[in-house]
Amino acid sequence: MHPSSDSLLIDRFGRQINYVRLSVTDRCDLRCVYCMSEDMTFVPREQLLTLEEISRIGRLFVEMGVDKIRITGGEPLTRKNILQVFESLGQLTGLKDLTITTNGTLLSSYAQALKDAGVTRVNISLDTLDTERFKAITRVGKLAKTLQGIDAALEAGFQSVKLNAVVLKNRNHDEVHKLVEFARQRGMDISFIEEMPLGIVGDHDRAEAFYSSEQIRNDLLKYYQLTASNESTGGPARYYRMPDSNSRVGFISPHSHNFCDTCNRVRVTAEGRLLLCLGQEHSIDLRRSLRAHPLDDAAVRQDLLNAMQIKPQGHNFNLALQPVIMRHMNTTGG
């Protein structure tokens, strides 16, 4: 089905939504210090969207002009039978890009099946190449498992395998060039992310740990020649190219570079809350809509159209006022 112009998701500011991030669980096998507190309470399983509901949401969005879906979490690969969702979304005509963000720990078992299901691109989070630091940042993780996952993803032959690193001062800021080198050796892109004030994490003061994209770029300039590029992968990263490599270095800078003007995305939490902005609480209860209209897609599509009217103009991240948003990134679906 081709979307008609009156079913396109266009907000009050004329921005068309063509990118949806679906969180399939808020649970995770890691406890990264910037994402979670040590003691997390997770959503009771019975409150989660079912796998069929997640697939239905994906289909409805694609019918309304969305051509990119990212599956995220929590750790999406910890959700039981999650392949079923990828297999169903992978068959949607009109969906050009089916992607996943993962910590990589389970990719050695899942990479090939994801590729076969139609996943086009994989983003893997990797903040450090040092075993001890990896344990400290993730609280419980083993670097070797994520590295094996990266190898498995590269072997599976996706269109791209990209790395994401959240950079914190005095935790991993001195490693950014090593991470770029790791990416270059494997022909991967890498993006550096400024920490966002989502939820209370209890581990560090976010203002103190802030390390800006500009600082990272200056550090990298000692090693590499970086040239700004106007390429985009549909997300908020700004990319730089290096003359001697095909790898790109991206920066996701919610503090120093506000990307709201060109925002083309919305998120759905694992409980089915449609979040209209990462940094604001505006949302609708999509789970209620789905369950009220199990056989009436038109009614759910109307709720999605109505939701466009409350998409805010932008986020208000301010490290001095943290945390403004009480939900953690694992709930939000990063």
Give the residues lining the site for ligand SF4 (CB under 6 A): 28, 30-32, 35-36, 73-75, 103, 125, 329-330
- Among the listed residues 18, 103, 138, 213, the single contact to ligand SAM using CB under 6 A: 103
Whether residue 22 contacts residue 69, with contact meaning beta carbons closer than 8 Å, is answered with: yes
> Between 84 and 322, whose beta carbon lies closer to ligand SAM?
322
Other residues' Cβ atoms within 10 Å of the Cβ of residue 116: 13
SS3 102: strand
Alpha-carbon distance 62 to 58, whole Å? 6
Q: Which of residues 273-292 bind ligand SAM (CB under 6 A)?
A: none
Binding mask 33-72 for ligand SAM (x = CB under 6 A): -xx------------------------------------x
Binding mask 112-151 for ligand SAM (x = CB under 6 A): -------------x--------------------------
Q: How far is the CB of 330 from ligand SF4 (least distance, A)?
A: 4
Alpha-carbon distance 297 to 76, whole Å? 26
SS3 179: helix
> Between 180 and 304, whose beta carbon lies closer to ligand SAM?
180
- Among the listed residues 11, 189, 195, 303, the single contact to ligand SAM using CB under 6 A: 195
| Closest to 162 in 3D by CA, of 78, 99, 86 | 99
Cα of 172 vs its chain's centroid, Å? 20
> Between 216 and 304, whose beta carbon lies closer to ligand SAM?
216
The side-by-side arrangement of strands in the sheet containing 121-125 is 227-228, 238-241, 248-252, 189-194, 160-167, 121-125, 97-102, 68-72, 19-23, 265-268, 273-275, 283-285
- Interacting partner of 98 out of ligand SF4, ligand SAM, none (Cβ under 5 to 8 A depending on kind): none
Q: Which residues bind ligand SAM (CB under 6 A)?
A: 28, 34-35, 72-73, 75, 101-103, 125, 164, 166, 193, 195-196, 198, 329-330, 334
